[in-house]
Amino acid sequence: MDGQLRDLGFLHSRRDDPHQPCPSEVTTEVDKHCPDDPNPKRSIKELDFFSGDVKFVSHGRDLESDDTGRSDPSIGLNLFALDSTASSNGDTAEVKMLQGELRRLQEENGKLKGMLDQITKNYNNLQGHLLLSMHKQHANPDLPDHRQKHEMHYLPPSPAAPAGIDVNNPIKSNIKAEDELVSQRATSITEPTSEGSEQEQQQPQGDCEQTSRVSPKTAKLEHPESKPEDQSAEMPLRKARVSVRARSEAPMISDGCQWRKYGQKMAKGNPCPRAYYRCTMAVGCPVRKQVQRCAEDKTVLITTYEGNHNHLLPPSATAMASTTSAAAAMFLSNSMASKEAQAASNGFPPPYRPPTIVTLSASAPFPTITLDLTQNPNSPIQLARPAQPYPAFTTAFPLPLHGYTSQMLGHAMYATPAAPKFPGTPFVTMGGRDAASLVETVSAVIASDPGFTSALAAAISNVIGAGASQVRNTDPNGSSGLPSGAVTVIPDTPQLPQSCTTFSPT
DNA sequence: CGCTTTTGACCCGCGC
DNA sequence: GCGCGGGTCAAAAGCG
């Protein structure tokens, strides 16, 4: 998890927060999109959510890895260029002050690392408990009826989900995802093949893991000869979607996939038109997405995904796909056993008390889980250390970096009927499976903040002093020509080993 | 010229 | 049956 958190890279917005002035001292890619942008059309085109080649390396890591006061050139951010300049100016007092600050930051980094290690251990323990309990539940034929019926709602009617996560069987996919997360946490993730998915589902119930993945109920529902009335009665939710709410001035967020617009409609109750896109990365890809601005807040862009990709996704697309699919899986699995999840969550130790809430509606023909990246119920967000030297982070970076991973999910997650409105519908807390997709959701949360890049730049410049180095953002297309002093962000956004945009348990 | 976007028409499900 | 709204189609227009 250390690597995952450190590598929480992601995401920068091509179009920065419109409410923030373009940085002057700190030069970022955002500068390209200032009003004097020579290519204004491009600049406001899209908010790049999960650009795969965007990297972010925590300065703490730099400090730890290099005590000489020089940053790793491969990282590209010369955080300590001031040392030489200060020395050349003979300002030894300032140098000493900076060195003291450096030591203090190193100590802080060590503390945080220790905290992170502890969290990682607890997380792994929790995963183990969760998997164990899930195995027991699947192996237990005396499962309560309501639980079994819930499971049947979402079991796969088709042989296999084509791309990655078996969103039609979230328990199975979650188990797999968690297994792989445990075993390959720090390794690069390769794209799964659809053949792999098929093999998984077609394998006999041999070992314990597969027994847990393929329950007798699963096998029953996979056979089309099941009574139609049974299916219709047991599957009230014919389609599910994942909606992402993000604040952006751009007409569309860039999620790494290629989309072609095929329609636009005026939706009732919203003065903003709804645009319809289909994935064009592969012929016949069934994935659709709708993009519409929120009626209440036009700065909020609502992107709704539907369907499974039938092709492999580029790295830049897997983060969003994993996020949405994980959210969908969480939603489905949680809706299966909301009571159990709530009971379980209440038993979690404080760091793992699931922070995410889900609202469910049994009447929705198209239940939608909404990743709301526009608000933070835990506001105001503060860093763990109040007397911190990164004021820009506390003001512009809406992520609670308390060190407790669960709190990173401060943004609410909703499951609603198609319209992403949040009335006072009953909600349940998410179960421990949240942890499996924590990183993806966190990445989305960070991505949601269009001011993240500028905040990062401001924070760094605040640490090292203005003008020490130019801080640039990376161009998702790699065309910006990263200077040596640039902030480099690790591209391997942590992701689930599988990826698909979302799911359709039809 | 090929691809994408636009936009009116059409289809379908649902409620009355 | 009718109207409404959501979703899709497909011809025309735009663009590089």
DSSP state string for A126-182: HHHHHHHHHHHHHH-TT--HHHHHHHHHT--SSS--SSSS-TTSHHHHHHHHHHHHH
- Residue A274, strand partner residues: A265
Residue A104 has pLDDT above 60, yes or no: yes
Positions on chain B within 7 A of a protein C-beta: 4-9, 14
For residue A152, pLDDT beyond 50: no
Q: Residue A19: name the closest of A271, A472, A396, A466 by CA.
A: A396
Bases in strand C with any atom closer than 7 Å to a protein CB: 4-10
Pick the most confident of A11-15, A138-142, A215-219, A347-351: A138-142
Mean pLDDT across the stretch A34-47?
Answer: 40
Binding residues for strand C (Cβ < 7 Å): A 262-263, 265-269, 274, 276, 288, 290, 366, 418
pLDDT at residue A276 in the model: 92
Residue with tokens 């792989």: A180
Residues 6+ apart with CB under 8 A from A128: none
Q: Which of A26-40, A245-259, A304-318 comes out lowest in average pLDDT? A: A26-40
Which token pair is A447?
């991505």
Instruction: Assess whether pLDDT exceeds 70 at residue A116.
Output: yes
> pLDDT category, A246, cuts 50, 70, 90?
confident
For residue A263, which nucleotide's C1' is closest to its Cα? C8
CA of A265 to C1' of C5 (A): 10
**Span A340-352, average pLDDT:** 35
Mean of pLDDT values over A398-418: 34
> Which residue has better confidence, A434 or A293?
A293
Q: What is the mean pLDDT of residues A202-216?
A: 33
Q: How far is the CA of A469 from the C1' of B14 (A)?
A: 61
**What proportions of chain A, in percent to the nearest 5, are helix, strand and coil?**
40, 10, 50
Q: How far apart are CA A493 and CA A403, in angstroms?
A: 19
Q: What is the mean pLDDT of chain A?
A: 49
* B8 C1' to A260 CA distance, Å: 19
A140 has a pLDDT exceeding 60: no
For residue A380, say if its preceding peptide bond is cis, omega within 30 degrees of 0.
yes
Question: Does the structure show a pLDDT above 50 at A268?
Answer: yes
pTM for the model = 0.42
**Is A93's pLDDT higher than 70?**
yes
Percentage of the residues of chain A whose pLDDT score is greater than 70? 23
Smallest Cα–Cα separation from A251: which of A290, A305, A281, A292? Answer: A292
β-strand partners of A370: A243, A414
Closest-CA residue to A133 (of A376, A433, A467): A433
Record the tokens describing residue A408, joined without a space.
């990173």
- The closest nt to A307, taking CA to C1', is C7
pLDDT tens sequence across A177-188:
333 333 333 333
For residue range A441-500, list pLDDT tens digits in order. 444 444 444 443 344 334 334 433 333 333 333 333 333 333 333 322 222 333 332 333
pLDDT of residue A335: 47
Q: Which pLDDT score, from 0 to 100, does residue A495 have?
A: 30
- Give the model's pLDDT for residue A328: 66
pLDDT of residue A247: 82
Tell me, in Å, how far CA of A262 is from C1' of B3? Answer: 13
Q: Which of A273, A275, A240, A280 is nearest to A256 (CA)?
A: A280
Please name the nucleotide lying closest to A419, CA to C1'.
C6
Task: Point out the residue nearest to C10 (C-alpha to C1').
Answer: A262
Q: What is the DSSP letter of A352?
A: G
pLDDT of residue A62: 38
**How far is it, in rounded angstroms, from Cα A409 to Cα A373?**
10
Q: Alpha-carbon distance A437 to A321, whole Å?
A: 11
* CA of A263, C1' of C8: distance in angstroms: 7
Q: Please give, chain by chain, protein residues whose CB is below 7 Å from any atom of strand B.
A: A 258-265, 275, 280, 365
Per DSSP bridges, beta strands A368-372 and A241-247 are parallel
Please compute the mean of the pLDDT values over residues A289-307 and round it to a whole number.
Answer: 86
**3-state secondary structure at position A35:** coil
pLDDT > 80? residue A95: yes
